[in-house]
Amino acid sequence: MEALRQSLRAIAAAEMAQDSAHDLAHLDRVWTTCERIAAAEGGDLRILLAGAYLHDLVNLPKDAPNRAAASSLAAEAAAPHLVALGYSAAEVARTQHAICAHSFSAGIEPESEEAQILRDADRLDAIGAIGLARCFAVSGSLGRPLYAADDPFARTRPLDDGTQTLDHFAVKLLRLGDGMLTQTGQQIAAERIAVLERYLRDLAAEMGHSAPEHWFSR
């Protein structure tokens, strides 16, 4: 498995358009989380390994008009590499489905255990301490401000995470735990959501605002 992991990692390093939020370290973390979930709940590690390292093989910017197609394009690009590595036709198809279904924007329902695990693992990397770092890295690359200076927590304006970084917590990040498909993913998500909530309370206090408790309601 380690030799296969290194081969898949080398493919990603050579072909993936990396940024600081979608780099080899992200792929390593997703694989580690896949292993953790699979250890508790099952799943084919060969499929998960390939999905973890090739799911961002085509990585389009968050504001790209065809962003929703990125996972399908990545699945298509992964196929010849998987064949070259000795994956059977059935394994290629299973890996491609897991890659297609991992994406939030694609809206494809995961139909296999591996697809559910990969989706949970990828989304878990968007929350917690690492999720904080990745969120601000992406927003910085897009030139978005940290928050709306006159109303940071959108108390009197509509949320808009296309223009305000902080709004993304309320629009998406704080809700990711609700969509976890595995029991282990749900447990990890609860811990990481708590990290985000503590951060937002500390941030609000530093800015002289009250904590945005309305963001935390389920």
Neighbour-count burial of 50, counting CB atoms closer than 10 A to its CB (0-12 exposed, 13-18 middle, 19+ buried): buried
Q: Dihedral sign, CA of 147, 150, 151, 152?
A: positive
CA-closest candidate to residue 146, choices 129, 160, 132, 167:
167
pLDDT of residue 218: 54
Is residue 11 within 8 Å of 81, Cβ to Cβ? yes
Contact 30, 74 (CB under 8 A): no
Side-chain-side CA neighbours of residue 196 (13 Å): 33
Give pLDDT tens digits along the chain (218 positions): 999 999 999 999 999 987 888 999 999 999 999 999 999 999 999 999 999 999 999 987 666 677 778 899 999 999 999 999 999 999 999 999 999 999 877 788 999 999 999 999 999 999 999 999 999 999 998 899 999 999 999 999 999 999 999 999 999 999 999 999 999 999 999 999 999 999 999 999 999 998 899 899 65
Q: What is the dihedral of CA 59, 64, 70, 73, to 10 degrees?
A: -100
Please report the pLDDT score of residue 17 as a whole number: 83
Domains within the chain, CATH numbers bracketed: 2-109 (1.10.472.50), 128-216 (1.20.58.1910)
Collapse the DSSP code of 24 into the 3-class scheme (helix H, G, I; strand E, B; otherwise coil) and give the result: helix
**What is the C-alpha separation between 25 and 99, in angstroms, rounded?**
18
Helices (H), 102-182: 113-124, 128-141, 167-171
DSSP state string for 25-52: HHHHHHHHHHHHHHHHH---HHHHHHHH
- The torsion region of residue 86 among left (phi > 0), alpha (psi -120 to 50) and beta comes to left
CB atoms within 10 A of CB 198: 11
Q: Is 69 helix (H, G, I), strand (E, B) or coil?
A: helix
Q: In this predicted structure, what is the pLDDT of residue 182?
A: 98
DSSP annotation of 57 reads S
Using a 10 angstrom Cβ sphere, with 0-12 exposed, 13-18 middle and 19 or more buried, the burial of residue 28 is middle
